[in-house]
Amino acid sequence: MGIFAKLSGGTTPNSTRLIGIALMLAAMGLFAFGDALGKLVVASYSVGQLLLLRAAAGLIVLSPLIWRQRAAFTSLERPWLQAARIGVATLEVAAFFLATRYLPLADVITYYLASSLFVTVGSALFLGERIGRARLIAILAGFGGVVIALQPSAETVSWPALIALVASVAFAALLLITRSLRQTPDMVLASQQFVGTFALGAVLVPSGWTTPSVPDLSLFAIAGAVSALGLLCVNRSLRIAPASVVVPFQYSMIIWGVVFGYLIFGDWPTPTMWAGMSIIIAAGLAIIAIEQRERRAAGEAAQR
């Protein structure tokens, strides 16, 4: 909060939260667009190649800012946690795009949205943020939505769906760790994620390289560029506002997932997926409403 006030010239707590929410909303739109491009290219190229070229494009876009802030890379807080974050971020991206290779984009995003439920629980366990009974009920309802969307049985649970859930858990861990590293500059956090995915892509790509055409190469580049912008928005959002406030707004991503999935791939969610999706979104909105109510109550108590 103090750091952001210095950078922005000073803001009120409410306006800072609103800025954090706006940044998260912008990030979700960028991620959905980048994910649609990623799903488009993994139909013809390996996941390793996508990770490599996407990360390379992202690092190229960020390179002027990386050079300008190069001094920040020399002294990092809690290096072990930084390393863990790189590993978690790499796992999350790889699992997500692997799942999109076999599932509709909106389906993968639906499973992915469960990460906000994991974050709300994790923020209480690891960051000391309060959950409360009403929020716990909303979390349990959200998990019910995940179960409905997943339709767990020996016949319906698929490896791609489970991979998407792994990506969801990894993304939740990434958000929590990012929240814990508030002193680390946004550029350092964003570039670390691309370095991790670039390294994994370099390891995987020798076994599945296909020389891309110029149009496809441009898709890789655009995917990397919009992902870089999205990462900067997410990292700044988590630095200036509580995770339990801004993370539920990632539900807006499902709207773009349905739109891009239908326009680009002709995919449309099944009735069961719509039902699960609706419950997950309702649970997220309930968490937001509960948080706002608690904040108002705290403000009124402070004025007495």
The pLDDT value recorded for residue 9 is 44
Write out pLDDT tens, residues 213-226.
999 999 999 999 99
Q: How confident is the model at residue 203 (pLDDT cuts 50, 70, 90)?
A: very high
Instruction: Provide the pLDDT for residue 18.
Output: 84
Determine the average pLDDT of the residues in 72-101: 91
pLDDT of residue 1: 36
Rounded to whole angstroms, the Cα distance separating 207 from 168 reads 27
Alpha-carbon distance of 202 to 100, in angstroms, equals 20
Region 255-276 average pLDDT? 87
The proportion of the chain whose per-residue pLDDT surpasses 90, expressed as a percent, equals 23
Q: How many residues does the chain have?
A: 304
The greatest distance separating any two alpha carbons of the chain, rounded to the nearest whole angstrom, comes to: 68
Give the pLDDT confidence score for residue 156 in this predicted structure. 55
Helices 47-68 and 214-240 pack at an angle, to 10 degrees, of 60
- pLDDT of amino acid 195: 93
Give yes or no for a contact between 181 and 173, defined as CB atoms under 8 angstroms apart.
no
Least confident of 47-51, 168-172, 252-256: 252-256
| Secondary structure element (H or E) that encloses residue 141, with its range | helix 133-150
In Å, how far are 73, 86, 94, 194, 205 from 200, measured between CA atoms?
A: 21, 11, 9, 10, 8
pTM over 0.85: no
Which of the two residues, 115 and 19, has the higher pLDDT score? 19
Which pLDDT band holds residue 4 (cuts at 50, 70, 90)?
Answer: very low
Q: How confident is the model at residue 83 (pLDDT cuts 50, 70, 90)?
A: very high
